Amino acid sequence: MKLGKIYLQLHPIAVHFTNALFPVALFFLILYLIFRLDSYRDTYFYILALATISSPIAYVTGIVDWKKRYKGAKTSTFVKKIRSGIVLIIVGIVCTAWYGTYPDVVDGAGAGTIIFLGLNLSTLLLTVALGHLGGKLVFMVQR
């Protein structure tokens, strides 16, 4: 996208913003689990919600970039990124909705709490995987 003489690459901007938020949300969730301060719990939720809202933007800008820069090439790297991006959006929605409707899920010790924490941890794994795949594309390492 061009603004006057400045060319903005929207996908890297959107991705770095989103990929920073999911791990930070997880960090505040862990702080809450350790210290049990409501401010950490609230911060977790607001950052998670922002990450969830911004992830479709990162995804759409990625699809646009893929179609423009790479002519929609269906390499294994792109297929993995597309699938992982969809999973990240879904997991973000599930975690945000689950906590939004039942915030006490973080205080339990049952299977629901374990699943909820596992889903939150998966956001970290997904963002790392997506970043790794993106790095392969940027630095032209294809497999």
pTM score, two decimals?
0.92
CB 116 within 8 A of CB 97: no
Residue 94 burial by CB count (10 A; 0-12/13-18/19+): exposed, middle or buried?
middle
Q: What is the pLDDT of residues 32-88, one digit of tens each?
A: 999 999 999 999 999 999 999 999 999 999 999 999 999 999 999 999 999 999 999
Q: How far is CA 46 from the centre of its chain?
A: 14
DSSP-assigned states of every residue in 64-120: HHHHHHSTT---HHHHHHHHHHHHHHHHHHHHHHHHHH-GGGGG--SHHHHHHHHHH
The pLDDT of residue 140 is: 80
